[in-house]
Chain A
Amino acid sequence: MRIAVCVKHVPEGTVRIDPGSKRLDRSGEGALNHFDANAVEEALRLKGDSDTEVVVVSLGPDKAIDSLRKALAMGADRAVLVSDEAAAGSDLVATSRVLAAALEREDAELVLFGQQASDADGAVLWAAVAERLQLPVVSQAMELSLGDGSLRTRRQTEFGYDVIEAPLPAVVAVSDAINEPRYPSLKGIMGAKKKPQEVLTLSELGLDPSTTGEAGSRTSVIALGEPPARGDARKIEGDGSAAQAIVDFLAEKRLV
């Protein structure tokens, strides 16, 4: 079988928004979104010693290949990067369109996502991709097992846990509580360079550039502003009178 894992190359260190383009500044160093490492790890765990192929898929700039290589170094078998200037600035509908087109070529039994992107805090992409692929989707998976043509997963909700079964092929977004991602070994890092790495343009996916990027997006960034300030923050040392000071503060705010 084949498991596809969607991963994102995110800026490293302090993330900033470029005031000109109003997009995240992606010019600096980047790294594999750490939540996606859980999805890669889960794919590798499910693969075990079997002949299952794990393919990592990403949409991003050329240097996103670094994050795909990290996934290859962890043990994934093959990487596919969709890199096209016309896709820059894609929002949810545009990104899900490109990823779905790349995933259709893979025809995987299982498509995995991490629980969110650490840069833009997005935590919705899998459901849009699943809708485009017309596949069942489960998010927040904390345990995942595959049976004969189906999957079983335990997922977290606000109220407790659901055990969900779904037929394959399916899309699953895993929680970061599902596993501890392995570190790539030196051998893995060396071997990653030789693994197949494909870089595709939109036209190679049969996509019209006007349906992706900013042109294909349905949302826009209008302006950047300062967050509302927290009024009069105070900090005190916790000596013997700290409890009284808290009570006085709460009384002042009419909370007791």
Chain B
Amino acid sequence: MSSGSATLVFLEHRGAEIQKGSLGVLSRAAALGDPEVAAVLVGDAARALAHEAGAFGAAKVYVCEDEAVQQPLPQPRVDVLAQVVSDGGYDTVFFANSVLAADVAAGLAARLDAGLNWDLADVERRDGELVGKRPALGDSVYVDVGWTSRPRLALFRAGSFDAVAGAGGEPEVVEVSPSFAEHSRGSRIVEQQVEESSGPSVEDADIIVAGGRGLGAAENFTLAEELAKALGGAVGATRAVVDAGWYPYSSQIGQTGKTVSPKLYVALGISGAIQHKVGMQSSNVIVAINKDANAPIFEFSDLGVVGDVHEIVPRLTELIRERRG
């Protein structure tokens, strides 16, 4: 097969903001050097964001603001993407992983009988062919994966790429009006409960201080909050402490929470179970403090400190405050 010619990137947005992870994937697609890179924005206020998609590398932006796509549900988005892939002749479609995007990608794969490689950490061109990189078995193996037909669908781990605004100009905006399948319109959201955390959100933070069961009690999360404040970062939490009600779900990092890759990840009293590891292991630098010398977190930390968070963290916070003046 010849090298790819046209890549489409599914951009997810919430309110007036395109998710950073989707823009990262768009940047990566643009850097692959395809002759055509386009983006799709689906949902309320999609049109207003087309300009931003252009800045991150999309020459063309498909928008759909149909009544059927107002709610963040996957199936009507499959209808939109199937239409765009067919109309525009796209041979590659990229997604940044999220609860919504995963369901859209898999639905589209079945609709188009297209190969979907998921959980990719990177993608490259090798002899003109697209090759995906998939960490497997708890990241002990990196698998090179390919596609045997087109279109090729790829779902990337959140936080795999930095969003880099380029010299992109004003994109061409194309309105999409697909017909929606009956089953696509079956589900509806009757209630939404948004959990807002205070301070910077964990997805956007360069520094995250996360707490686990080792903090001992809900009120000890102030240790994480104070350190995060001193470092100018956000606070994250493990599933165990979210389930225990110590911290809100919006801060949960891991398999059923968010996947993050900040410049610095400080893990306080976190054992490093696989469910948590998958959400933060691609962080640039990982520092872990845990009193259990055998905690798995030490296997993938750059600096592991075997000790008591209650003694070390207050002193650490103080030293960083002093340093920052």
Chain B at the A interface: SS class: mixed
Asked if B109 contacts A243 (CB within 8 A), the reply is: no
Given A165-B188, A238-B311, A243-B315, also A93-B305 (CB < 8 A): no
Chain B residues lying within 8 Å of A152, measured Cβ to Cβ, are 190
Is B143 part of the contact surface with A, judged by Cβ < 8 Å?
Answer: yes
- A78-86, A187-195, A198-206, A226-234: which lies at the interface: A226-234
Asked if A140 contacts B99 (CB within 8 A), the reply is: yes
A91 to B304, CA, bound (A): 39
Is B125 part of the contact surface with A, judged by Cβ < 8 Å?
Answer: no
- A1-9, A50-58, A126-134: which lies at the interface: A126-134
Asked if B107 contacts A250 (CB within 8 A), the reply is: no
Apart from A163-B190, A221-B145, 7 more pairs, CB < 8 Å? A91-B115, A128-B110, A134-B183, A163-B189, A164-B187, A236-B305, A237-B305
A131 to B136, CA, bound (A): 26
Chain B residues lying within 8 Å of A235, measured Cβ to Cβ, are 298, 301, 303-306
Asked if A92 contacts B109 (CB within 8 A), the reply is: yes
Beta-carbon contacts under 8 Å, B94-143 to A = 98-100, 102-111, 113-119, 131, 135-137, 139-143
Interface string of A103-129 (1 = CB under 8 A from B): 000000000000110001111111111
Is A175 part of the contact surface with B, judged by Cβ < 8 Å?
Answer: yes
Is B319 part of the contact surface with A, judged by Cβ < 8 Å?
Answer: yes
Asked if B135 contacts A227 (CB within 8 A), the reply is: yes
Asked if A116 contacts B255 (CB within 8 A), the reply is: yes
Chain B residues lying within 8 Å of A155, measured Cβ to Cβ, are 99
21 contacting pairs across A/B (C-beta < 8 A): A121-B119, A124-B118, A128-B107, A137-B75, A139-B103, A157-B99, A159-B195, A160-B192, A164-B73, A166-B187, A218-B148, A224-B141, A225-B142, A227-B142, A238-B311, A246-B303, A250-B264, A255-B264, A256-B231, A256-B320, A256-B324
Beta-carbon contacts under 8 Å, A162-215 to B = 162-167, 170, 175-177
Is B243 part of the contact surface with A, judged by Cβ < 8 Å?
Answer: yes
Asked if A161 contacts B192 (CB within 8 A), the reply is: yes
Asked if A131 contacts B186 (CB within 8 A), the reply is: no
Number of interface residues of A (CB under 8 A): 82
Residue of A nearest to B78 (CB): A131
Asked if A247 contacts B140 (CB within 8 A), the reply is: no
Asked if B312 contacts A243 (CB within 8 A), the reply is: yes
Chain A residues lying within 8 Å of B180, measured Cβ to Cβ, are none
Beta-carbon contacts under 8 Å, B269-317 to A = 278, 285, 287, 289, 291, 298, 300-308, 311-313, 315-316
Residue of B nearest to A233 (CB): B302
A43 to B258, CA, bound (A): 28
B230 nearest CB across to chain A (Å): 9
